[in-house]
Amino acid sequence: MSIDYMTAIKKSLVLLFLPFYILFGEVDSLSTSPSSFFISISAYGSGGLNIVTAPSRENVLSFNPIPSVFAAFQKILNDTSHTTLGVQAGFLSQVFKIKSQNLATEFLSSSNSFDFTINYLSLDVLFSTFGITFGFGYKYPVGGKFKSEIPTENLASVFDCLLGYSFNLYSDEENSICASFLLRYPLKKIYKNYPESDPVLSFENVAQKQNIANKHNPAILWFGFGIIYRYSF
């Protein structure tokens, strides 16, 4: 990537997060103060696991070929301890897999393994110190995939708790590149009107349908490994 492209990206990110810069009350010092803010872009490869157990169903770890990407704006509170506070927004893709042991007769010859992908727009509040990140996130569903599309009206908005760790790979006065591990623990389950909205039920027998209740609504643990590029100003 050429220097001109990098400069354009940096300027675009500064403009994108300018309202948050103003909110912190530092707009008058944009050109004169030492670095007290940074903007970043990041991309994560990820996996997912349903953490809710259900009768005659097995939850299987699944890995996602679709990257999750974010942009963040953070204020540097303490340079020595690398303490920061800020916001992060982006596209989050989650996957999970369920195996059913009680298929309906007409589906006995087919696979009992069901793969799901659910995509969200996310907005997170992040606090980091000594490389450890804590946060709280909101995810708005924009689509889902299970054999065919999952109607978005069946998907709920979800809140997450975030925990992560990052370490520096490269840095200079303005730029840094970090590796990051991030975990998102769900505080809410994924479907509205469950179990009626559960797409797996249409492949299962009558006895299994009677076993599935609202408490079995899936909740997805997301974990990712990614690279973060940061620009300080």
Looking at residue 12, what is its pLDDT? 54
Domain carrying residue 19: 3-232
Of 226, 157, 228, nearest to 192 by C-alpha is 157
Considering only residues 140 and 12, tell me which one the structure prediction assigns the higher pLDDT.
Answer: 140
Q: Are 137 and 182 in contact (CB under 8 A)?
A: no
Report the Cα 118 to chain-centroid distance in Å. Answer: 11
Q: What is the mean pLDDT of residues 38-63?
A: 97
Per-residue pLDDT tens over the stretch 167-195: 999 999 889 999 999 999 999 999 999 99
Q: Which residues pair with 136 in a beta bridge?
A: 125, 161
CA dist., res. 79 & res. 222, Å (int): 30
pLDDT at 31 over 90: no
pLDDT value at 39 more than 90: yes
Distance CA 31, CA 47 (A): 41
Q: Which of 46, 40, 17, 68 is CA-nearest to residue 177?
A: 40
Quick one: which H or E segment has residue 224?
Answer: strand 220-232
Rounded CA separation 198/212 (Å) = 9
CATH of the domain at 185: 2.40.160
Q: Residue 79: what pLDDT?
A: 86
Residue 142 parent element (H or E): strand 132-146
DSSP state of 28: G
Looking at every residue in the chain, the average pLDDT score rounds to 89
Report residue 77's pLDDT band, with 50, 70 and 90 as the boundaries: very high
Q: What are the pLDDT digits (tens) for 101-135? A: 999 999 988 899 999 999 999 999 999 999 999 99
Give me the number of domains the chain comprises: 1
| Contacts of 107 by beta carbon, 8 Å cutoff, 6+ apart | 203
- One-letter amino acid for residue 231 of the chain: Y
